[in-house]
Amino acid sequence: MLIQTIINGLLLGGLYATATIGFSMVWGVMGVINLAHGAFIMVGAYVSYLLFAKAGLDPFLSIPLSMAVLFVIGYFLQAVLLNRVMRFSLLLSLILTFGIDMILINVVVLLFSSDFRSVNTSYSGSALAIGGSLIPTVRFAIFGFALFLAGAFYLFVRKTRAGQAILATALDKEIARLMAINPYRVYSLTFAAGAALAGAAGSLASMFFPISPIMGREFIGAVFVITVLGGIGSVEGCVLAGLLYGLIQAFTSYLLGVNFQNIVAFIVFLAILVMRPQGLLGKRFYGEVS
């Protein structure tokens, strides 16, 4: 059972890591805590559900489409709304993202109702048996795809010109402006990329969790904890903290029961935060990316 618990924790942690990266980057680059991130995950799940139910498209194949939809939504919201509000107050951006979250949830309720839905593929019940432990095929595929997305985004940030502009803006907006980098255009790109990753996480979560208009709220607490635990703005920190968070939940569920998993996870989070306020792989100064 010990090996099975570790497997379950790691597989869940990979999904949490993917769900967190976009949130962490938006917070690290823009200083904005995006309360609509959970709603973005939810919309991504519904995009995959809709394509699966109406067109029979495999959820993994629908991930690029859900990412594209959320990228457009994210870019529009940042360019049209958030960039205007950020010029005056970051607190207003917090309120605005909360409003966006409520609007998206209610729009989905009007379109799909509040009923729970699911994506059940032909391979949903299959599993790999290794050394007496079972690895669900879907969860293993989700884990692999989640790590692939995390690696791809890490390379995008580190190796591309747009990624370097994001890092430069995170470190010093005014210096970046002197280097002919438009910070508000970078903000729009960052927010859109974060929304796209949330859409991918939603597509993956559609095969893992029941789909409902409020499913994003199940993620937002975990996403916040993992972001701070890994280090704000750190992609590799999100992966490490996501896996750790998944393991904590799995072991707590096994030893104490499901009702205690969030309590223990937050206690561990607070303990690490007291010992290392910048997170596991973060830096001491706000806005820096490890």
pLDDT in tens, 94-150: 899 999 999 999 999 999 998 999 998 888 878 888 777 788 888 889 999 989 999
pLDDT at site 133: 79
The DSSP secondary structure of 116-138, one letter per residue, reads -B----TTTT-EEEETTEEEEHH
Domain contains 80: yes
Domain contains 289: no
CB-based contacts of 189: which residues, under 8 Å, 6+ apart? 75, 162, 165, 166
Mean pLDDT of 167-171: 84
User: 231-241: string of b/e by CB count within 10 Å (b at 16+)?
Assistant: bbbbbbbbbbb
CATH of the domain at 263: 1.10.3470
256 pLDDT band, cuts 50/70/90, is confident
Domain contains 158: yes
Domain contains 281: no
Domain span at residue 69 reads 2-275
CA distance 269 to 228: 8
Mean pLDDT of 196-212: 93
Contact present, 119 and 206 (Cβ < 8 Å): yes
Q: Which of 252, 228, 226 is nearest to 241 (CA)?
A: 226
Half-sphere CA count of 83, side-chain side, radius 13 A: 18
pLDDT at site 123: 82
Number of folded domains that form the chain: 1
Domain contains 219: yes
Compute the C-alpha angle 141/144/148, nearest 5°: 135
Domain contains 230: yes
User: Long-range contacts for 163-166 (Cβ within 8 Å, ≥24 apart)?
Assistant: 165/189, 166/25, 166/29, 166/190
Domain contains 161: yes
Mean of the per-residue pLDDT values for the chain?
88
Domain contains 211: yes
